[in-house]
Structure 1
């Protein structure tokens, strides 16, 4: 499988999202509608993807993690360890009262060392964040590899997942849809879904319909907002109707709400806005 390269991804897929010219999907205006807004996101379910703060972390790991803890975060999702070993990075997290409960990883021929590092870091989830292929057979091979890795992850006490972007929802020349291949060919016991809400919308899909199609399999959300022009937005300032989506969280099976912004201009402010939004948002219980 191709090595993860999210910088390359953002150059292509974000442009695709903008090119789609998508207005908000039905029901994605900021009005939850229906029912009393009594549901809330548990504080212990809030996390942040450290990719959002990659530029700061590359300069000052200790200070950046200290700042996240000061905002109120207790969980983070890793995207690398910035030149530290897993043990060294875990020590930094521990010093600031942070738990690296999830991490983005690459598939490898030998996944054992990868999962050993995940355990050292204290992770509960290990997630493949990126794949792109041009044929259905390649996507099917990926699904088989995910199953294999997921079975091994279980031996390490880990939940293994796949994170979507927009291109998985676009039809291949054969008419098949990569996301459908992944979800139908992988075993839900071994491969869960980390549903990126921004990329689902950018791919022309309604996150609620995806939740309904994959009940109790969406264990993690990437909570990322979308501006009216299709660009990334700080959480709660864009067009995605999170209360409507969150009202289906029990149906989804979601355990973690992970704040993310792929191209923030002020990463710590973005992290704070995201944390504050998730603490304040209310939605109908179902």
Structure 2
């Protein structure tokens, strides 16, 4: 093991580990909603993942050490957001080395070689992917986007990969009385396009995540579990204002069984990853 990796692991197990204990203490206090005295269901470990965008700055500095730290936390599955200068085959070998499995990825189809994206997906091993972002000012543009999305998703489906759409807040803001999220849903086939709900952005957009889940029942296959601070910003999972126990209990029915930790701009990404994993692994609902 290199000195660089040893330094990374030592840092993780001391400073980040200590910070995580503080974070978890906060997560178990008033702003978190897990009922630790009631023995309810738990999220199985294989359903807990993390969006690697959360750790992008660490990956740029030390890719292998950061993957190793995620494995030390307990993660076994991850959602990709690029391969940091490695080929698909090279990144797959790194994941295998640290006993991590890519179950999903954010990949943009618009203007891309969809056939190549599909080949990379097969190499990396994931069977779910999603368009991470789109934003248009008119309903006509949103409808045209939905048509392109459906066509690309159909190609992914034929290759055995489910392709979906990941929301932000603006898709819940009406244009001429119609929400873009509804345009996407109504102009794509449920057979082709699933939905990955970023729960922070659903709430930030003024929608009820449970209502939205059942509005598109059967199409929501992934949750981004991102917490919301008192002031409206991002928070480590379990330390913010979203009532995760109630939300998960009310949306347990159906095919959605992937819970992906995320934070858009964490001060300490490894601590964020650890706090999120341990909170969700121990949450009962």
Bigger mean CA deviation after superposition, 193-202 or 247-256: 247-256
Does residue 123 (structure 1) correspond to residue 126 (structure 2)? The answer is yes
User: Alignment length, in residue pairs?
Assistant: 252
The separation in 1 between residues aligned to 2:192 and 2:57, in whole angstroms, is 33
Equivalent of 1:81 in 66, 80, 83:
83
- State how 1:43-122 maps to structure 2 within 5 Å: 43-109=45-111, 110-122=113-125
Q: CA deviation at 1:61?
A: 0.7
Q: CA deviation at 1:32?
A: 7.2
- State how 1:5-16 maps to structure 2 within 5 Å: none
- Is the partner of 1:82 in helix, strand or coil? coil
- Is the partner of 2:253 in helix, strand or coil? helix
TM-score (normalised: structure 2): 0.86
The separation in 2 between residues aligned to 1:59 and 1:31, in whole angstroms, is 35
Partner of 1:3: none
- Is the partner of 1:39 in helix, strand or coil? coil
TM-score (normalised: structure 1): 0.85
- Is the partner of 2:196 in helix, strand or coil? strand
Q: CA deviation at 1:40?
A: 1.2
CA contact (8 A) 2:261 2:273 kept: yes
CA contact (8 A) 1:211 1:248 kept: no
Bigger mean CA deviation after superposition, 273-282 or 103-112: 103-112
Does residue 279 (structure 1) correspond to residue 281 (structure 2)? The answer is yes
Q: CA deviation at 1:108?
A: 3.4
- Is the partner of 1:250 in helix, strand or coil? coil
Partner of 1:207: 209
Runs of 5+ in structure 2 lacking a partner?
1-30
- State how 1:237-252 maps to structure 2 within 5 Å: 237-252=239-254
CA contact (8 A) 1:211 1:252 kept: no
Deviation string for 1:37-85 (max 9, x for gaps)? 5121110000000000000001111000000000000000000000000
Partner of 2:19: none
Deviation string for 1:210-243 (max 9, x for gaps)? 0110112111000000001001000000000111
Partner of 1:195: 197
Partner of 1:231: 233
CA contact (8 A) 2:129 2:164 kept: yes
The separation in 2 between residues aligned to 1:219 and 1:129, in whole angstroms, is 15
CA contact (8 A) 1:214 1:252 kept: no
Equivalent of 2:180 in 157, 178, 181:
178
- Is the partner of 2:136 in helix, strand or coil? coil
Equivalent of 1:166 in 166, 169, 183:
169
The separation in 2 between residues aligned to 1:232 and 1:250, in whole angstroms, is 24
Q: CA deviation at 1:264?
A: 0.1
Q: CA deviation at 1:93?
A: 0.3
The separation in 2 between residues aligned to 1:51 and 1:218, in whole angstroms, is 21
CA contact (8 A) 2:34 2:283 kept: no
Deviation string for 1:239-283 (max 9, x for gaps)? 001111111333342121000000100000000000001111111
- Is the partner of 1:133 in helix, strand or coil? coil
CA contact (8 A) 1:194 1:222 kept: yes
The separation in 2 between residues aligned to 1:198 and 1:150, in whole angstroms, is 25
- Is the partner of 1:40 in helix, strand or coil? coil
